[in-house]
């Protein structure tokens, strides 16, 4: 059914040039807008970064080529290279300034970038001011000028379909999974070794490049440019498109671009007749539509359409050769050494010079009353928080001061207190994210689908880990559809998929029912018997007492006691602090 739909879509795209010129022109515009919206789907829908500046990138591509080909009589193809380089440069600078900041800085920065470029286009006499630049040459391939609108339509859709294909491939890859993880916050992607900032930058530049390409094609199709198609209002329109079409899917960009283009043309004809004035009244209708979509079709039209389609084919988990594995430390060897670690939050000392060790093959529990500093200690070990003082060593290597992605590279893997999975992605894909550091397939091989053998190996490894934790049968269901207990186990499978030497579990039993806790305990015992080392922060005393080899107790940021479970159980200080003297 999905394949039939795809073939029907391709056939429709191929047949549009047989229709009257109005539809061919409309089809060309839809192709251009789809390209820009596609970049925005990746940037906003998938990665969670809102940009109002995509029309400005389109303008940058269009104006660069317009100036170089008219004033300097350069070839449009050479102008394309310069336009792309300029766009990449601008996106890198803009991204470097804003992507680090998070929050509303990116939308605000892209908004101001969109407005400034629009005024620049309109003010500089070299760019033709508000009148724009005309006499832009037609594109030529092998000496043949593409003046026929139908041929140009095919060129636009060739580029657009290639971009769609590349984007789909990218999302179904090692880097794509890490990009999809970014929406859940930087911590998840970084915990598996991905550099969140680098990924955001790549997505930002990629979406800018798509905008630039669309702008370049636009300039040589119209053979004339002026500032109005690249203003901030058009940037907002692109956001309309993906919100209405579906920001989470590449098909959302096609649906949104098509719907908004047709509606805009229709409304621009009808509304002035009804209202009796000319103006951009269609914006009001778009606003109402957005509200309706958000109210009744959250996720956009594509999400609604997808309900009627058969599920996507399952991930191919056939036979494949094993991924390389790291040498595990020998049982009993010192593995983790926390040495006088300290964390101050302003005047509050959350962790006061705490020291303890974990040997290979042990399960060690870190307990303490609320606010004792357990999670802070945990985050100091995993690198999520910078320490004020002290050090952490993994084996012989100092890991304190390193970024979480660097620490993950050295063999430390973790789960989260509040489960961090990508709910719309299948269980196996979530687990595959854990293997990020075990392969090095890049964007190029992903985009051109040259990564299939490695993808099969990663899928086979993820399937193996799911079998190890007993979740084999849930492999192909969306992770968000599982009960909390199973989601926590998926997180453990994902951590195992990174082939760790040390597993950090942050309150794995929180929110679980009795039976789920028993299953979790069985799994952890099995992992210990396989030689895995585990440091576990947990509130549930009974759960820990029957499971762990040793316990470290914290209170008010300090280490209160350390010992075997039965020693801790009868330690008066611990009973006083942790159990209120019961």
Residue ranges that bind ligand ATP, judged by CB under 6 A: 345, 348, 350, 368, 370-376
Of the candidates 237, 66, 29, the one whose C-alpha atom is nearest the C-alpha of residue 153 is: 29
CB of 9 to ligand ATP, least distance (A): 49
**Of 156 and 372, which has the nearer Cβ to ligand ATP?**
372
Of the candidates 153, 154, 142, 91, the one whose C-alpha atom is nearest the C-alpha of residue 117 is: 91
Element (H, E) at 378: helix 374-382
CB of 30 to ligand ATP, least distance (A): 47
Element (H, E) at 484: helix 484-496
Query: What value, to the nearest 5°, has the Cα angle with vertex 363 and ends 360 and 368?
Result: 130
**Of 1 and 348, which has the nearer Cβ to ligand ATP?**
348
- 339 near 35, Cβ under 8 Å? no
For 153-181, give the secondary structure using H, E and C. HHHHHHHHHHHHHHHHHHHCCHHHHHHHH
Question: What proportions of the chain, in percent to the nearest 5, are helix, strand and coil?
Answer: 60, 10, 30
What DSSP letter does each residue of 288-303 carry, written as one string? HHHHHHHHHSTT-HHH
Strand partners, 92: none
Say how many C-beta atoms besides its own lie within 10 A of residue 127's C-beta. 20
Say how many C-beta atoms besides its own lie within 10 A of residue 75's C-beta. 13
Give the up-direction half-sphere exposure of residue 310: CA atoms within 13 A in the CB hemisphere: 7
The C-alpha atoms of residue 219 and residue 120 are separated, in whole angstroms, by 17
**Given the DSSP bridges, would you call strands 334-345 and 389-394 parallel, antiparallel or unpaired?**
antiparallel
CB of 500 to ligand ATP, least distance (A): 22
CB of 404 to ligand ATP, least distance (A): 16
CB of 103 to ligand ATP, least distance (A): 16
CB of 515 to ligand ATP, least distance (A): 24
Give the up-direction half-sphere exposure of residue 187: CA atoms within 13 A in the CB hemisphere: 14
The C-alpha atoms of residue 351 and residue 116 are separated, in whole angstroms, by 47
**Of 333 and 576, which has the nearer Cβ to ligand ATP?**
576
């Amino acid at each position: 059914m999905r394949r039939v739909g795809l073939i029907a879509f391709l056939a429709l795209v191929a047949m549009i040039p047989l229709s009257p010129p109005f539809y061919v022109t409309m089809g060309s515009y839809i192709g251009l807008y789809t390209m820009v919206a596609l970049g925005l789907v990746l940037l906003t829908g998938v990665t969670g970064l809102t940009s109002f500046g995509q029309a400005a990138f389109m303008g940058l591509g269009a104006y660069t080529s317009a100036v170089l080909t008219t004033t300097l009589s350069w070839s449009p193809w050479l102008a394309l290279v310069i336009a792309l380089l300029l766009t990449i440069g601008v996106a890198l600078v803009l991204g470097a300034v804003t992507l680090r900041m998070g929050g509303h800085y990116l939308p605000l920065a892209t908004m101001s970038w969109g407005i400034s470029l629009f005024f620049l286009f309109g003010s500089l006499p070299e760019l033709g001011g508000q009148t724009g630049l005309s006499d832009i040459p037609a594109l030529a391939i092998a000496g043949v000028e593409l003046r026929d609108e139908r041929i140009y339509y095919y060129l636009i859709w060739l580029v657009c379909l290639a971009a769609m294909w590349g984007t789909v491939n990218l999302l179904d890859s090692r880097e794509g999974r890490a990009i999809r993880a970014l929406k859940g916050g930087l911590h998840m992607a970084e915990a598996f070794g991905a550099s969140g900032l680098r990924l955001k930058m790549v997505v930002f530049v990629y979406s800018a490049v798509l905008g630039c390409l669309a702008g370049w094609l636009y300039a040589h199709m119209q053979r004339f440019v002026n500032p109005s198609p690249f203003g901030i209002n058009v940037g907002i329109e692109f956001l309309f498109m993906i919100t209405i079409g579906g920001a989470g899917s590449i098909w959302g960009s096609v649906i949104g671009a098509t719907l908004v283009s047709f509606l805009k043309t229709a409304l621009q004809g009808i509304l002035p007749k009804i209202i009796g004035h000319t103006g951009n009244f269609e914006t009001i209708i778009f606003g109402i539509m957005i509200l309706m979509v958000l109210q009744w079709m959250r996720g956009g039209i594509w999400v609604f359409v997808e309900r009627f389609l058969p599920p996507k084919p399952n991930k191919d988990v056939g036979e494949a050769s094993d991924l390389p594995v790291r040498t595990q430390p020998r049982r009993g060897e010192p593995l983790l050494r926390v040495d006088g670690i300290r964390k101050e939050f302003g005047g509050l000392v959350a962790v006061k010079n705490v020291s303890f060790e974990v040997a290979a093959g042990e399960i060690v529990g870190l307990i303490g009353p609320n606010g004792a500093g357990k999670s802070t200690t945990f985050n100091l070990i995993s690198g999520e928080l910078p320490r004020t003082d002290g050090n952490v060593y993994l084996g012989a290597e100092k890991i304190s001061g390193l970024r979480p992605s660097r620490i993950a590279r050295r063999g430390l893997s973790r789960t989260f207190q509040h489960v961090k999975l990508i709910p719309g992605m299948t269980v196996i894909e979530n687990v595959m994210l854990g293997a990020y550091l075990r392969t090095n397939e890049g964007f190029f091989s992903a985009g051109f689908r040259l990564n299939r053998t490695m993808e099969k190996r990663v899928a086979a490894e993820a399937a193996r880990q799911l079998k190890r934790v007993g979740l084999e049968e849930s492999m192909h269901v969306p992770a968000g559809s599982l009960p909390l207990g199973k989601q926590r186990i998926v997180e453990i499978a994902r951590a195992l998929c990174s082939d760790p030497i040390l597993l950090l579990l942050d309150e794995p039993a929180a929110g679980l029912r009795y039976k789920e806790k028993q299953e979790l305990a069985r799994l952890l015992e099995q992992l210990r018997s396989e030689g895995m080392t585990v440091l576990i922060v947990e509130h549930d005393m009974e759960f820990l007492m029957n499971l762990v080899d040793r316990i470290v107790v914290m209170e008010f940021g300090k280490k209160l006691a350390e010992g075997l479970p039965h020693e801790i159980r009868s330690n008066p200080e611990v009973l006083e602090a942790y159990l209120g003297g019961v």
